[in-house]
Structure 1
Amino acid sequence: MNVELLRGDDVEKVLHRLMDDYDEFHWAVAWGTDNSLCTRLLDRSAKFGAVTFGLAFAQTDPELVEALVDVPGSYVVTAFPGGTYHPKVFAFRSGDRMAAVVGSANFTRGGLGNNLEASVLVTGTVDDKVLADVLAFTAESAKLGEVVTSKLAQRYRLGHSLAAKMPRPPRDPLIQVPQSGEKGLSSSLVKMSWRDYVREVRGSAVHHVDESLALLRTAQVWLASVPSFGDLTTPQRKALAGVIGKTDRDIDDDLGRDWGWFGSMRGAGDFKNRIASNDVFLARAMDSIPQKGEVTRQQYDRFASLFVKAFANSHRVGGVPTASRLLAMKRPDVFLCVSNPNLTAAAVKMGFAKTTLQLGNYWDRVVEVIRASEWYGVEKPDSQDGPLWECRAAMLDAIFYRPN
């Protein structure tokens, strides 16, 4: 058995050689990113015995995870109780021959050259205890992991995107990503580019985009001007709720906008009454959603709970259309109002049965699919489409709306 120290880019050179010299790969590696050996590794996936990558703190590239979908012998470790999945073990085997690189280097750009790393290369046979132990370790690591499915890869991409916006990413990046249906996360909407999104929105035959954005901007100004939704005037609350009548609309130009866009709720009598009476639970529900910054699942759940309480003594309980109407006015960058005119198209595009959408699953079936989408995750453009980006969730209505 031989042992030698590897430093700097030695690890990259040695792994490059070992990938050709050996028939089987047995790896247990904390993180992997796009690097000089990624293509080489994936081109040799038929050699995978057990290749396991960790996802802790979203440090592994989602592209690598997606490349491992349905590849036999590949695994990812999501949650690791009591600590972090953190090994850096690259083992190779051909019959009785074995080699292993063990040390500080991850399968990342930094680990393969940019960082100061120290590893050892051990070569020998499977009869050498240390190499036998390394092989057993990689097999145990694989048991900690999960087979990479397209659903897992989509969930991780969303978790990776969310983690990038957090000051401290969670150890398990999937913790805030629900087990949404694979159909929704792999839908055509999720794969739509920002360019195609803009083209479809601006090409709408039923939405006047500039007027729609002006309406949403007015809503944002009103909500930012008061400490609580309950402090708005009655006409303003009616406008935001989509229940405003002609008399109130004649008060001024802002109230006179077509507030029926993004879901007219004038037929929801109990909801209309709750808005007019300035129900305290509706106000608290709206106040539970922050005006700026990240909106969490917990905040949405609190909103939904308070919203339902507003109808405790009503014949009809408020549902997704009325609740999502308020949410879209409060945070058009996060929420879409789903009501009868856009429900069918939304269900098809987002991969859910339209008869099953409820407040309890709206976050999973609508919000998470939106947040997983390619068009949603782009940086705000420095162009005329900046205002559209700020309202991009609510403006899906321009794509989904089908007039009766």
Structure 2
Amino acid sequence: MELSPLSPPRLVSNQQENIWQTLRRQLLTCQSFTWAVAFITTDMLPPFKLVMEDLQASGIRGTIITGTYLAFNQPRVFAELLKISNLTVRIADGPFHAKGYLFDHGDWQTAVIGSANFTRSALLANQEWCLKVDSQTDSTLPRQLAAALADLTGKSQPLTYTWLADYEKSWEPPAKPVLHVKQEKIVPNQMQAAALENLQALVKSGARRALVVSATGTGKTYLAALAVKDFAPRRFLYLVHR
């Protein structure tokens, strides 16, 4: 249940209700909104577009300020945002990494500010923390956020089809992080050594099946790798639980 406009500041997370539910409820009751959010994913746009259709029927408009930091936002994100007629999108310059949501309810404003980008994982599942503050009980944060958003709006540029065409030409997917593996010789522990000896004996006897039962943390994954190395098959299939 949404707290009244006179509710004190509170922490919003994905524990009891997710952050998207809080943002959606604010959208459906506001007169306008301005967001500054660095990262946006396409999987959050369908539910957002449904809400924006409802707001359009009531003449409600909004603004999103986003950017191109780390090339995270795909061109498709901007293309979909351009389709929303009652939404203004502006592009911030430089390493833009802000996450703030401001809703204007006429007599009061609500600020939601914290760690959550406009991505499905951030708004539905991740361990994210946001502070929700209504101006009728504490006007400091909403007022500061409004001033920061106004300044950011003046320093940003509008999203246009021309801008998007240029972005599509230069955009490349962000590089995946390289996993640096420490190179060291893996020596079987006591359980693994005993199991490997028994497995080798089974193979020599002509057995085609074996079952290893061992407690959690004793090293079954390494054991499997060591066993495959000893057996040296031309190919093998390794099945694991998800």
Q: 1:51 to 1:97 in 2, by over 3 A?
A: same
Q: 1:156 to 1:125 in 2, by over 3 A?
A: farther
TM-score between both structures, scaled by the size of structure 1: 0.37
Quote the Cα distance in structure 2 between the aligned partners of 1:42 and 1:155. Answer: 27
Q: Which residue in the other structure is 1:112 paired with?
A: 123
Quote the Cα distance in structure 1 between the aligned partners of 2:118 and 2:90. Answer: 15
Quote the Cα distance in structure 2 between the aligned partners of 1:49 and 1:15. Answer: 13
2:49 matches 1:34: no
**Structure 2 residues without counterparts, runs of 5 or longer:** 1-5, 178-242
Map 1:358-397 onto structure 2 (within 5 A).
none
More strand by share: 2
Quote the Cα distance in structure 2 between the aligned partners of 1:15 and 1:92. Answer: 9
Runs of 4+ in 1 over 4 A off after TM superposition: none
Quote the Cα distance in structure 2 between the aligned partners of 1:110 and 1:128. Answer: 30
Q: 1:116 to 1:151 in 2, by over 3 A?
A: same
User: How many Å apart are 1:140 and its aligned residue?
Assistant: 1.6
2:96 matches 1:85: yes
2:10 matches 1:4: yes
Q: 1:122 to 1:23 in 2, by over 3 A?
A: same
2:108 matches 1:97: yes
Q: 1:159 to 1:86 in 2, by over 3 A?
A: same
Q: CA RMSD in A?
A: 2.6
Q: Which residue in the other structure is 2:79 paired with?
A: 66
Map 1:265-280 onto structure 2 (within 5 A).
none
CA contact (8 A) 1:58 1:159 kept: no
Judge which range, 143-152 or 15-24, deviates more: 143-152
Identity of aligned residues (%): 23
Q: Which has the higher contact order (CA 8 A, sep 6+)?
A: 2
Quote the Cα distance in structure 1 between the aligned partners of 2:12 and 2:137. Answer: 22
User: How many Å apart are 1:49 and its aligned residue?
Assistant: 4.5
SS at match of 1:68: helix
Map 1:2-401 onto structure 2 (within 5 A).
2-8=8-14, 10-36=18-44, 37-40=47-50, 42-43=52-53, 44=55, 47-69=60-82, 73-77=88-92, 79-80=93-94, 84-125=95-136, 128-160=139-171, 162-164=172-174, 166=175
CA contact (8 A) 2:35 2:101 kept: yes
